[in-house]
A and B are shown apart, each in its own frame.
Chain A
Amino acid sequence: MLLQMKGITKSFYGVQVLDNIDFELRPGEVHALVGENGAGKSTLAKLISGVHRPDDGYMVVNGKPVPLFSPIEAQRMGISMIYQESCLVPEMSIAENVFLGSEPRWLGLFSNMMKMKRETKSILRLLGMPLHPNTKVKDLSMSEHHIVAIAKALSLKANIFVMDEPTASLSDSERIRLFGMIRRFKANGVGIVYITHRLNEIFEICDRVTVLRDGKKVLTSNVNELSEKELVKQMVGRELTQIFPPISEPTGVELLRVENLTRKPWFEKIDFKLNEGEILGITGLMGSGTEGLAKTIFGEVKPESGKVYWHRQPIQLSTPRQAIDTGFGYVNRDRIESGLFMDMNVYHNLTIASLKKIHRYHLVHEQQEHHKALDAIIQLDIKTHDPEQEIKFLSGGNQQKVMLGKWLVAESDLYILDEPTRGIDVASKSELYVLLHELVNEGKGMIVISSDMSELIGLCNRILVMHEGRIVNEITHEEATQERILQAASGIRG
């Protein structure tokens, strides 16, 4: 047995997050850890990698009991973790980041740059990412970031890997490469703890699955003895019948029109129209320009040319502030870097973009603020035992909901959502989809950028597919299939 945990209990600030958990990892197995947001998956992963210490219970790693544990000791004992949110040093090169803390040395003193670069290059090649090891991390995109974080974890000579949502920002082809590496590790007797919300991945790559619900273990079972339906039922605690609500017809009243929008090298000559009550999906492989397009529509970056019309009136968007004043809301894909205020409480995070509407003589109207924020908390079912708690103590999925909640409070008319369900569990996803439909039925418009094909197909009226900065195909809801989208996204004419 590589890893054995017994009776693990952990609380934060008096809130019990894990309650008497037993968990084990065999050599050569991929053990999935699933559950809803806030079920305790990430906390358990952090206990394994030494970031947190359990309040009660014990752990045995590679046959040795470990009473107290730090991340460094965990690494020394052969445990390597890929975090949900990557922690890299932006000013350092990829190679330096990959080997940070475990630099190969000459004479125990000088770091061996050549070796670092060589090994980094070969790991990156295995992951299908031909980046130069000298590139500084700050120049990388979000998903490249993530790949480097994975490379860093894989570079360690570990026999236990903990992966927290490793595929969250990967494209399909990168995901397939990662799975290839996982299979190779398995064959060498390495054990992997695999946390994910994507149920199909469990059936694709995992051997056993442990389900957590509200900090308690519900079951551990072999994956092939379980159906997807059964698994969801165990996670949620009830039967989940329908994931996507029925798609409703848009009104035909134009809300937003984009003409000839160009911002090289991200995208060029983008034309599309969004009606009131419509959900428009935009997708594409990494580097296809979807993220840049969202940023440009929101005014974070200026386009080189092109026009944007709002309610048929031409508008100039040069700052996010103008966009927000117009009625735009933007959930970007990176909640730590540019989404949330980690030291602020849940109330303040929810109302930060709407304070203009809730003040008297510039004094924040607290009662009204709490009222509006609580509406969003209830509507989105944000799990927090106290909204005055700082948001950094919330689970990743609940943080994601707060990002959306900010625009509910602001009563936005256009929602630009970039990977809105990243890190959100199945049940919350369903709730979120229902909520998005409610908003759309009120006449709001929605642009959903996603790499999750089933989400796009189930949610959107139309899907625009981008390839190398251009829209290459427009697929209606009725004709949308995974194959069609993928074909268009890879630049194959269909």
Chain B
Amino acid sequence: MSQVATDFESKNPSAGMRWGKYLWDQYSVIFAFLVLVALAAILNEHFLDIGNITNVLRQVSIVGILSLGMTFVIILGGIDLSVGSVLAFSGTVIMAAQVTYELPIWISIVLGLVAGALLGVINGLVITYGKITAFIATLAMMTIARSLALYYADAGAISGFDSSYSKIGNEYLAGVPIPVIIFGLIFLLSYIVLEKTVFGRHIYAVGGNTQAARLSAISVFRVTIISYLICGLTAAIGAVIETSRLNSISTSSSGHMYELDAIAAVIIGGTSLSGGRGRIVGTLFGVLILGVLSNIMNLLNISPYLQGVVKGLIIIAAVLLQKRD
């Protein structure tokens, strides 16, 4: 920091108070998470067991990865309702490549990722060229991608035979489940892209004020396409984990309603649905809050049918907490 910047701060009598306020603004979701963890630890002695914690992390990793991609498009001022269906579509591509065409595993994974990215790009093209709002464009993609998967497998499942594929979803590396490691890596990557790169800054700019972004030499078209590509890609990565866990894809139920969980996590994380404002760190903790919540309710034997009520209330509470304008 230069001399001037320190002058700004020393002039202000209540810098400490503002710092506290800043922390709260930026990271209230982390405080909320810590409170929830403490509460969970008090309510159930097994909550903090390593086994249970690992379990929670593994359970959230797929929706977590989807939420990271979702954060990009929501900060951009859009939304992607198709991620759950794109997951099913990519999963179908992967399993079909392995089972029907007997391709090597790594090629099937590449094909799955390309399929997810491609559907994301199509979303972006429909939104930019077609000038159709993201909600409608991705709603259409949601039904199209799901329908294609259902048609291919007659609404059934495709199961693989190569057991080495299921290692990705089920094995550990240094005591940590591989899906959790993938989630962690993608989080780090997303953090760097959104917070540190020029492209990340451009996403915030387009989401904050599209017209001003255009007048600041930003290619709104390119930023939009790439953001939806990233979102589709994260759905495909989710598909890799999902298919490998069971060595199978269910075209009717895989990825079902994942888009709503992802959107919920992003919102709980403090990202504004109107675009231009939000933090990927918030999304990480939004994901963890949802995971811990459903875990503790399971431990306490609360009916799964009732858990949606709690989730809904948490979403409302999170948004109320973060309102500050």
Contact status A364-B208, CB under 8 Å: no
Assembled-state Cα–Cα distance A319/B219 (Å): 10
Assembled-state Cα–Cα distance A352/B12 (Å): 27
Q: Which of B202, B205, B214 contacts A320 (CB 8 A)?
A: B214
**Would you call B162 an interface residue if the criterion is a C-beta within 8 Å of the partner chain's C-beta atoms?**
no
B79-87, B193-201, B260-268, B311-319: which lies at the interface: B193-201
- Given A338-B209, A356-B198, are A344 and B215 also a contact pair (CB < 8 Å)? no
**Would you call B47 an interface residue if the criterion is a C-beta within 8 Å of the partner chain's C-beta atoms?**
no
- Given A321-B219, A324-B217, A370-B5, are A359 and B198 also a contact pair (CB < 8 Å)? yes
Q: Which of A13, A319, A320 contacts B18 (CB 8 A)?
A: A13
Contact status B205-A341, CB under 8 Å: yes
**Would you call A453 an interface residue if the criterion is a C-beta within 8 Å of the partner chain's C-beta atoms?**
no
How many A-B pairs have beta carbons closer than 8 Å: the answer is 103
**Would you call B34 an interface residue if the criterion is a C-beta within 8 Å of the partner chain's C-beta atoms?**
no
Which residues does chain A contribute within 8 Å of B1, judged by CB atoms? 370
Interface residues of A in 440-494 (CB under 8 A from B): none
**Would you call A204 an interface residue if the criterion is a C-beta within 8 Å of the partner chain's C-beta atoms?**
no
Contact status B21-A337, CB under 8 Å: no
Assembled-state Cα–Cα distance A371/B1 (Å): 9
- Given A13-B21, A330-B215, A332-B215, are A355 and B8 also a contact pair (CB < 8 Å)? no
Question: How distant is B163 from chain A, measured CB to nearest CB, in Å?
Answer: 40
Which residues does chain A contribute within 8 Å of B219, judged by CB atoms? 321
Q: Which of B9, B199, B216 contacts A362 (CB 8 A)?
A: B199
**Would you call B140 an interface residue if the criterion is a C-beta within 8 Å of the partner chain's C-beta atoms?**
no
Closest to A361 in B: B197
**Would you call B306 an interface residue if the criterion is a C-beta within 8 Å of the partner chain's C-beta atoms?**
no
Closest to B195 in A: A364
A98-106, A182-190, A379-387: which lies at the interface: A379-387
Contact status A353-B217, CB under 8 Å: yes
Contact status B209-A341, CB under 8 Å: yes
Contact status A377-B196, CB under 8 Å: no
**Would you call A363 an interface residue if the criterion is a C-beta within 8 Å of the partner chain's C-beta atoms?**
yes
Contact status B14-A364, CB under 8 Å: no
Contact status B11-A385, CB under 8 Å: yes
Closest to B16 in A: A14
Assembled-state Cα–Cα distance A298/B21 (Å): 41
Assembled-state Cα–Cα distance A13/B18 (Å): 6
Question: How distant is B161 from chain A, measured CB to nearest CB, in Å?
Answer: 42
Contact status A343-B277, CB under 8 Å: yes
Give 1 or 0 for each of B144-187: 1 = CB within 8 Å of chain A CB.
00000000000000000000000000000000000000000000
Q: Which of A321, A338, A356, A374 contacts B212 (CB 8 A)?
A: A338
Interface residues of A in 358-409 (CB under 8 A from B): 359, 362-364, 370-371, 374, 377-378, 384-387, 406
Closest to B275 in A: A343
Closest to B202 in A: A355
Question: How distant is B153 from chain A, measured CB to nearest CB, in Å?
Answer: 40
Main secondary structure of the interface of B (DSSP, over half): helix
**Would you call B17 an interface residue if the criterion is a C-beta within 8 Å of the partner chain's C-beta atoms?**
yes
Closest to B207 in A: A343
Assembled-state Cα–Cα distance A325/B204 (Å): 21
Assembled-state Cα–Cα distance A330/B216 (Å): 9
Contact status A378-B208, CB under 8 Å: no
Which residues does chain A contribute within 8 Å of B198, judged by CB atoms? 355-356, 359, 362-364
Contact status B2-A374, CB under 8 Å: yes
Question: How distant is A380 from chain B, measured CB to nearest CB, in Å?
Answer: 13
Which of B14, B201, B212, B277 has the most A CB atoms < 10 Å from its CB?
Answer: B212
Contact status B4-A364, CB under 8 Å: no
Contact status B8-A385, CB under 8 Å: yes
- Given A15-B12, A371-B2, are A352 and B201 also a contact pair (CB < 8 Å)? yes
Which residues does chain B contribute within 8 Å of A377, judged by CB atoms? 4
**Would you call A263 an interface residue if the criterion is a C-beta within 8 Å of the partner chain's C-beta atoms?**
no
- Given A324-B217, A337-B211, A340-B209, are A362 and B14 also a contact pair (CB < 8 Å)? no
Assembled-state Cα–Cα distance A344/B213 (Å): 12
- Given A14-B14, A356-B198, A363-B196, are A386 and B216 also a contact pair (CB < 8 Å)? no
Assembled-state Cα–Cα distance A352/B211 (Å): 13
**Would you call B276 an interface residue if the criterion is a C-beta within 8 Å of the partner chain's C-beta atoms?**
yes
Q: Which of A298, A363, A378 contacts B215 (CB 8 A)?
A: A298
**Would you call A342 an interface residue if the criterion is a C-beta within 8 Å of the partner chain's C-beta atoms?**
yes
Assembled-state Cα–Cα distance A340/B208 (Å): 9
Question: How distant is A319 from chain B, measured CB to nearest CB, in Å?
Answer: 8
Closest to A13 in B: B18
Contact status A387-B8, CB under 8 Å: yes
Assembled-state Cα–Cα distance A353/B214 (Å): 10
Assembled-state Cα–Cα distance A385/B17 (Å): 14
Closest to B204 in A: A344
Contact status B215-A320, CB under 8 Å: yes
User: Which A-B residue pairs are the 8 nearest by beta carbons?
Assistant: A14-B14, A338-B211, A324-B217, A353-B216, A341-B208, A343-B277, A321-B217, A355-B198
A residues lining the B interface (CB < 8 Å)? 13-15, 298, 300, 319-321, 324-325, 330, 332, 337-344, 348, 352-353, 355-356, 359, 362-364, 370-371, 374, 377-378, 384-387, 406
* Additional pairs, 10, CB under 8 Å, beyond known A356-B217, A363-B196, A371-B2: A14-B17, A320-B217, A324-B217, A341-B209, A344-B208, A353-B217, A355-B201, A356-B198, A362-B198, A374-B2
